[in-house]
Amino acid sequence: MKKSGFLTAGLTAAVSGAMPRVHAAEDNTIKIALVGCGGRGTGAAFDALATEGPKKLWAMADVFPHRLNGSYSGISDAHPDEVDVPEERRFIGLDAYKKAIDAVAPGGVVLLCTAPAFRPAHVEYAVEKGVHVFMEKSFGVDSPGVRRILAAGKKADEKNLKIAGGLMSRHSFPLQSCIEQIQEKKLIGDCVTCWTYRVHENVGFSPKQAGWSELAHQINNYSCFTWVNGSFFLDWLIHNLDISCWVMGDWPVSAQGQGGRQTRPYPDQLFDHYAVEYTFPNGTRLLAQGRHQNNTWGFFGTILHGTKGSAVFGEGISHPKIFKGYNQTPENQIWEHKGEFNKQYRTEHVLLFDAIRNDKKYNETDRCAKAAMTGILGRMTAESGQMISWDEAMNSDVELAPGLDNLKWDDDAPVMPDANGNYPIAMPGITKVL
């Protein structure tokens, strides 16, 4: 945990824009498949194509033709010499990921950027086919999915495949410097309590389009349906949950929490507020707050108290700072990052492609899966109102969408509305999660 976020010294220049040309496999073109062509997937393709060495965007897949076509146009306009995706390698449908992965063949790279519910099946298939993986967060929506990701990661190691995960904040130079200072314990002492927040305006919602099935509507609104994205708490707080566990040096052993739906006006499944308290093996606590309600106080970041001082850092905080004492005022500030800043989304791809070209061991699966499990544990406690241990959550066999691997485009969605157009919403004290 202490070292997992840090770059090797030889790559610092690479990710800040002054990368020497790689040597191993320099003449080999890496074929790239993009699966999930929304904004994050398109961004991942741009970042992959910005890495050193010969590479080609070779195949694309999505369930929505308009999304694939828009992504293709944007990427090919910007990288005309590195995009080779004729119509026969543009695949549409729930099984399109298999065709895209097959197209790049063993040794290629797939960028898995669909809604999180589909991540376990997609990672498994890529590893089975001998393809390196970039997987966007989140990495599953329930405990069985997390276990599948962990198993796929072990198989990737056996096959010498490289897997990178989309927890880009781990690769932020300022954040790495801040956590290094904290973990050396010279400035703030031992960690005592951590608070992490993502509180802001309402998550958006798109009305069902004419002619669309219920399944298409829910995938299009993937942030709004728990079976697709695992909840706002998991999918939107995962970065700072991961960073908080990183600075604590461990994963939690239990959690208890609460949440509900108070002001949200849209027909979907979302809670609009969460508060989850995690306990770590040494007894320290993390309190995570998630809220998306209009006209309310907003903050996006993490605050840590130690025995001698405090810090503010994390996703949402571009310039982390450390303070003496707990009053985080300018006169109490004792540290801020003075070194290089980097494009952390770009860095995660630089590291992956460097590992592939130079045959370095590179597998972020374990940490990514456990970060997702931290969010899933929190959601489980908030939806049920129960205190739940890490082991209980990890061993749960509850699936949010049973049979998802065999879902067809003309099937009903895993969750269907009632006669009034309302969807089932978790009820603390009633909902069973184990």
**pLDDT value, residue 6:** 43
Cβ–Cβ < 8 Å for 248, 183: no
Output the six-digit token pair for 89: 């390698």
Cα(418)–Cα(413) distance, integer angstroms: 13
Residue 184 has pLDDT above 60, yes or no: yes
Residue 185 has pLDDT above 50, yes or no: yes
- Fold (CATH) for 9-169+344-363: Rossmann fold (3.40.50)
**pLDDT value, residue 265:** 94
Handedness of CA 87, 221, 245, 319 (dihedral sign): positive
User: Is cis: bond before 138, omega within 30 of 0?
Assistant: yes
Cα(336)–Cα(321) distance, integer angstroms: 5
- For domain 191-306+373-406, give the CATH number: 3.30.360.10
Closest C-alpha to 123, from 147, 148, 100, 91:
148
Cβ–Cβ < 8 Å for 305, 192: yes
Residue 225 β-bridge partners = none
Q: Dihedrals φ, ψ of 195, to 5°?
A: -125, 135
Name the CA radius of gyration of the chain, rounded.
Answer: 21
Amino acid at 277: E
Closest C-alpha to 188, from 355, 394, 333, 49:
333
Compute CA 39 distance to the chain's CA centroid, rounded to the nearest angstrom: 14
Cα(323)–Cα(356) distance, integer angstroms: 40
Residue 145 has pLDDT above 50, yes or no: yes
Domain residue ranges in the chain = 9-169+344-363, 191-306+373-406
* Residues 301-314 pLDDT 10s: 999 999 999 999 99
* Residues 314-340 pLDDT 10s: 999 999 999 999 999 999 999 999 999
**pLDDT value, residue 17:** 41
Reduced to 3 states (helix: H, G, I; strand: E, B; else coil), residue 297 is coil
Q: In the block, which residue shows the tokens 């919403």?
A: 425
Q: Which residues neighbour 11 within 8 Å (Cβ) at sequence distance 6 or greater? A: 350, 351, 354
Cα–Cα distances in angstroms (integers) from residue 362 to residues 110, 160, 355, in the given order: 15, 9, 6
DSSP string, 40-62: HHHHHHHHHHTSSS-EEEEEEEE
Reduced to 3 states (helix: H, G, I; strand: E, B; else coil), residue 150 is helix
Residue 21 has pLDDT above 50, yes or no: no
